[in-house]
Structure 1
Amino acid sequence: MSTLRRRRYVLAALFVAVALLTAAILWEVVEVVFFAITVAYVLYPVRQRLVDRGTSRRIASALVTTLAFVVVVVLFSPIVWTLFRQRDAILQLFRNLPEEITVEAFGFVVTQETAELVATATEIVRDIASTLAFSSIFLLLELGMFTILLYGLLLRPNAVGRAAFEITPPQYHDVLRALNSRISGTLYALYVIQAATAVVTFPIALVVFYILGYSDVVVLSVISAILQFIPIVGPGVLAVGLAGYDFVIGMPDRAVGIIVLGPLLIGLLPDLLVRPRLASSQAHLPASLYFVGFTGGVLTVGVIGIIAGPLAVAVLVEVVDLLSDGGAPAEDD
């Protein structure tokens, strides 16, 4: 082994050690760092197009970072503000439940008191509203850190890639390219397609809930948009919950309407409108694998599991595909 290559391996080991130490020290903000890295991965092609058209690297990185900042604020501010402002309406929704729910089926009668359920739900809603109010300053600091880190990553995006190719033997470069393609496609599916689907879901849900006569159409539409990020389940679970609520309070017609129109228009229609136009072969992510990664990621590492879980499963699938091809290296372009 040459002295230069041995030096590179030592530096790579040092990098891993320092990275692990840094992650341990900055664990409280690891979510912000992770999201900044993955968002930079998705936005890099946009930045590169600007550079190819003659824009300087700094200006291109600043423009793309500003765009990402505006998108984050536009998408999440209405959601947070709506949930905080409409907390009383959500609480009133629970208070309107009858004191007892009686279900009759196959000759059996089951009666369930709702007082404990209402008390628990009320406490959860109040805790969420209080957390949003008291954590606003920390959310702003995290947003600022996310913006600065994203700019830095876009300004020098190729350093890690070049280092990876330097310390990896040439016969394994095709593996790095395959993993890079799978990661970029998966992140595109997770961020771009899911976000676009959620944006399209909001106005459709707004119309459906308004036609069916619900009072808190904005809140329900926001929740429907958020649920689009949950694979397989999606807004359908909200439709089932609303249908059960309407049935209990004596509105069977509206219950039938939401159980039919909810999954069809709110759940399925946005997918049909968005995915065929944005999906590509690289962004293909089977729903079953998405669900496994999403659920396992959230249960294991919390909120970053929304992205980290499906991403880990996608990388695993790519490695399995490479092994199924016999492990032979691909020819370099």
Structure 2
Amino acid sequence: MSPGLSRIDPLVLLFVIVIVAAAAVAFWPLLDVVIVGLSLAVVLLPVHRALSRRLPGAVAAGLVVAAVVLILLLGSGFMAAVLAQNAQYLDHILQTIFDWVWAPAAEQAIPLPIPPEQIAGWVGEHADTLQAGIAGFAEAAPLFIVKICVFFLTLYIGLLKGDTVRDRLVGHLPTALKRDIGRLSTVTVDTLYAIYVVHVATAVITFFLALPFFYFLGYGHILFYSVMAAVFQLVPIIGPSLVMLFLGAFALSQGDARGALLVALVGYPIVCALPDIYFRPLMMGRRASIHPVIMWIGFFGGLAAMGIVGFILGPLFMALLVAGYGIAVRELTRARTLPGERDPVSNLTKL
């Protein structure tokens, strides 16, 4: 053990761990937004460093947070404007699907494969659950506002003090351990970049793929449908598949077999599947440098185990696991190398 580490009082270390654990338990309802805020701060730290060369650190952090707020407001405002302009059309679609479900005798509609009585029974069984969910959302509104405030405050302090905290912690570690921590730090930044930046880039790609499809579909309101597809691409797991399901039901309710086939055979493969199956793994693999299948295990496993925050922590833990495996293999290889014998790993790197 390094002399520096051997001088650490175990009781002091245990006391610090207990304080951190107690804080995590006390702030558990807010831990998800704290994690998201800190992870986004890691991705935006290069922007903060660039601004800090010309401005004070606090001002630079404030400008980055203000830019994030502005982007979110502009994006939300644009989406709200698109929805407002197409409100009557959306109401028409919903009414058409509703009439198709509850009055399937319309001549132009393709018959519903499920009896209306069965749908009514399903709706009745889940009505109470839906009402409870709406009531719970209304009750959670104050906490949601608090979470938004905590998110932006965490983002600000993460930008302002992130580099300082890292340097102070890592600066006292042994040289060999610093190298391994640096490797894990690089993996963390690359993985978070892949999660955030690639996620947004995939939504942008979905938008441009959706434009020609909805043009050829012939239902009009091309911008509306394309924006909805891009927005739903930002929703983990669900994606724009919900938009395609909605459009498929609308096509069937109008008796438009051509539209239903286009949605199923063209819209879903190109607008929904192609960005997720091809573009997302391609862009993630280039930055995160781990197999896309491992990233998908992290996405699905994280969501199942930790909820929405698992969309970030799941891939991050998998990436750190792979990096830890690489470090362990390197150390084991080095330990087996005899004195005076050249390290086979270093030989390979020179080829």
Identify the TM-score tier after normalising by the shorter chain: 0.7 to 0.9
**Uncovered stretches (5+) of structure 1, i.e. residues with no partner:** 104-109
Root-mean-square deviation over aligned CA pairs? 4.2
1:49 and 1:138 map into 2 onto residues whose CA distance is: 34
1:132 and 1:218 map into 2 onto residues whose CA distance is: 30
State the aligned residue count. Answer: 324
Call closer, same or farther: CA 1:273–1:81 in 2, change over 3 Å: farther
Does 1:320 find its partner at 2:325?
yes
Instruction: Tell me the residue number matched to 2:119.
Output: 114
Which structure 2 residues correspond to residues 185-196 of structure 1 after superposition, within 5 A? 185-196=190-201
Does 1:64 find its partner at 2:35?
no
Instruction: Tell me the residue number matched to 2:34.
Output: 33
Aligned-residue sequence identity (percent) comes to 25
Q: Give per-residue Cα distances to partners, 1:13-42, cap 9 Å, x unaligned.
A: 433321211110011111111111101100
Q: Give per-residue Cα distances to partners, 1:69-103, cap 9 Å, x unaligned.
A: 22233345666898899696786465234357665
Supply the AA of the counterpart residue of 2:287. Answer: Q
Q: Give per-residue Cα distances to partners, 1:111-137, cap 9 Å, x unaligned.
A: 673223455687777776666666544
Q: Give per-residue Cα distances to partners, 1:270-291, cap 9 Å, x unaligned.
A: 6799769976743345432232
Instruction: Tell me the residue number matched to 1:168.
Output: 173
Pick from 244, 248, 257 the counterpart of residue 252 of structure 1.
257
2:92 and 2:98 map into 1 onto residues whose CA distance is: 10
The 8 Å contact of residues 229 and 239 in structure 2, kept in 1 or not, is answered as yes
2:10 and 2:325 map into 1 onto residues whose CA distance is: 26
1:130 and 1:307 map into 2 onto residues whose CA distance is: 28
Instruction: Tell me the residue number matched to 2:152.
Output: 147
Instruction: Tell me the residue number matched to 2:51.
Output: 50
The alignment partner of 1:266 has SS state of: helix
The alignment partner of 2:288 has SS state of: coil
1:189 and 1:4 map into 2 onto residues whose CA distance is: 34
Supply the AA of the counterpart residue of 2:233. Answer: Q
Instruction: Tell me the residue number matched to 2:294.
Output: 289
Q: Give per-residue Cα distances to partners, 1:242-282, cap 9 Å, x unaligned.
A: 43664476321001111233234423666799769976743
Instruction: Tell me the residue number matched to 2:339.
Output: none
1:300 and 1:203 map into 2 onto residues whose CA distance is: 33
Give the CA deviation at 1:144.
1.9
Give the CA deviation at 1:165.
1.9
The 8 Å contact of residues 236 and 267 in structure 1, kept in 2 or not, is answered as yes
Does 1:96 find its partner at 2:102?
no
Give the CA deviation at 1:301.
1.6
* Higher deviation after alignment, 285-294 or 60-69: 285-294
Supply the AA of the counterpart residue of 1:314. Answer: A
Does 1:20 find its partner at 2:25?
no
1:309 and 1:155 map into 2 onto residues whose CA distance is: 26
Tell me the TM-score normalized by structure 1.
0.76
Which structure 2 residues correspond to residues 183-222 of structure 1 after superposition, within 5 A? 183-202=188-207, 204-205=209-210, 208-209=213-214, 211-214=216-219, 221=226
The 8 Å contact of residues 231 and 287 in structure 1, kept in 2 or not, is answered as no
Pick from 266, 271, 282 the counterpart of residue 266 of structure 1.
271
* Higher deviation after alignment, 123-132 or 36-45: 123-132
1:158 and 1:33 map into 2 onto residues whose CA distance is: 17
The alignment partner of 1:98 has SS state of: helix
Supply the AA of the counterpart residue of 1:315. Answer: L
Call closer, same or farther: CA 1:204–1:94 in 2, change over 3 Å: same
2:231 and 2:125 map into 1 onto residues whose CA distance is: 22
The alignment partner of 1:250 has SS state of: coil
